[in-house]
Structure 1
Amino acid sequence: MMERKANDLLNRIQFMYPDLSKSQRLLADYILENYEKAAYMTGASLAEQAGISEPTVVRFAHVLGYEGYPPFKKALQNVLKVKLTTTQRIEMFSDFETGSIVKKAITADMDNLKSTLMELSMEQFEQGVEWITDANRIFVAGFRTSALLSNYLGYYLDMIAGNVVVLDHGLGDVYEKLVKVEPGDVFIGISFPRYSAKTKEIAAYVRKKGGKIIAITDNERSPLGQAADLVLVARSNIMAFVDSITAPMGLINGLIISVGYRNRKKTSLIFDELEQVWADHEVFQNDRNEQEEEDEGAIHE
Structure 2
Amino acid sequence: MSSSVAKAPESSFSARLRAVRPELTKSEAAIAQWLILNEGTIGLETGASIAAKTGVSPITVSRFFRRLGYKGLPALKTDLQASAANLHLDAVGRTLRLLEGEIGTLIKRDAEAVLGLGSQIARPEWTDAVLALEGASDVFVTGFQTVRGLAEDFARRLSIVRPSVRFVSPHDTGLAEWIHPPGHAPRNCLLLVDTIPYARQAEPIVQMARQAGMSAVVVTDELNTWAARHTPLVFFAPTKVGTFLESTGPLATLLNLITHSVAGRDPERTRERLDRWPEVLRNLDLF
TM-score (normalised: structure 1): 0.56
SS at match of 1:145: helix
Distance 2:117 2:174 in 1: 30
Q: What is residue 175 of structure 1 aligned with on the other side?
A: 175
Check the 8 A contact 2:120/2:235 in 1, yes or no. no
Distance 1:107 1:197 in 2: 33
Distance 2:191 2:132 in 1: 10
Describe the shift of the 1:120–1:269 C-alpha distance in structure 2 as closer, same or farther (beyond 3 A): closer
Q: What is residue 250 of structure 2 aligned with on the other side?
A: 247
SS at match of 1:237: coil
User: Is 1:230 aligned with 2:233?
Assistant: yes
- Residue 169 of structure 1 and its aligned partner are, at CA, apart by 4.5
Check the 8 A contact 1:220/1:231 in 2, yes or no. no
- Residue 278 of structure 1 and its aligned partner are, at CA, apart by 2.6
Q: Which amino acid aligns with 1:229?
A: P
Check the 8 A contact 1:141/1:147 in 2, yes or no. yes
Deviation by residue 1:165-222 (Cα, 9 ceiling, x = unmatched): 2112552x13222334946211111111221121111001111211111111124852
Q: What is residue 211 of structure 1 aligned with on the other side?
A: 214
Q: What is residue 278 of structure 1 aligned with on the other side?
A: 281
Describe the shift of the 1:183–1:283 C-alpha distance in structure 2 as closer, same or farther (beyond 3 A): closer
Q: Which amino acid aligns with 1:260?
A: A
Describe the shift of the 1:114–1:184 C-alpha distance in structure 2 as closer, same or farther (beyond 3 A): same
Q: What is residue 187 of structure 1 aligned with on the other side?
A: 190
Q: What is residue 135 of structure 1 aligned with on the other side?
A: 136
Q: Which amino acid aligns with 1:148?
A: G
Distance 1:119 1:280 in 2: 41
1:40-189 to 2 correspondences below 5 Å:
96-99=1-4, 101-171=102-172, 173-180=173-180, 182=185, 184-189=187-192
User: Is 1:256 aligned with 2:259?
Assistant: yes
Where structure 2 has 5 or more consecutive residues not aligned to the other structure, the ranges are 5-100
Q: Quote the sequence identity (%).
A: 18
SS at match of 1:203: helix
Q: What is residue 41 of structure 2 aligned with on the other side?
A: none
Where structure 1 has 5 or more consecutive residues not aligned to the other structure, the ranges are 1-95, 285-301
Describe the shift of the 1:169–1:105 C-alpha distance in structure 2 as closer, same or farther (beyond 3 A): farther
Q: Which of residues 265, 268, 287 is equivalent to 1:265?
A: 268
Describe the shift of the 1:182–1:279 C-alpha distance in structure 2 as closer, same or farther (beyond 3 A): same
TM-score (normalised: structure 2): 0.59
Q: Which amino acid aligns with 1:252?
A: L
Describe the shift of the 1:111–1:215 C-alpha distance in structure 2 as closer, same or farther (beyond 3 A): same
- Residue 131 of structure 1 and its aligned partner are, at CA, apart by 0.8
Distance 1:274 1:175 in 2: 28
SS at match of 1:249: helix
Q: Which amino acid aligns with 1:140?
A: V
SS at match of 2:247: coil
Distance 2:129 2:146 in 1: 23
Describe the shift of the 1:120–1:261 C-alpha distance in structure 2 as closer, same or farther (beyond 3 A): closer
- Residue 239 of structure 1 and its aligned partner are, at CA, apart by 4.3
SS at match of 2:198: coil
Structure 1 residue ranges, 4+ long, deviating more than 6 angstroms after superposition? none
SS at match of 2:166: strand
Check the 8 A contact 1:195/1:223 in 2, yes or no. no
After alignment, is 215-224 or 184-193 more displaced?
215-224
Q: RMSD value over aligned CA atoms?
A: 2.3
- Residue 274 of structure 1 and its aligned partner are, at CA, apart by 1.2
Distance 1:118 1:210 in 2: 28
Distance 1:206 1:175 in 2: 10
- Residue 156 of structure 1 and its aligned partner are, at CA, apart by 1.8
Distance 2:206 2:142 in 1: 9
- Residue 98 of structure 1 and its aligned partner are, at CA, apart by 2.5
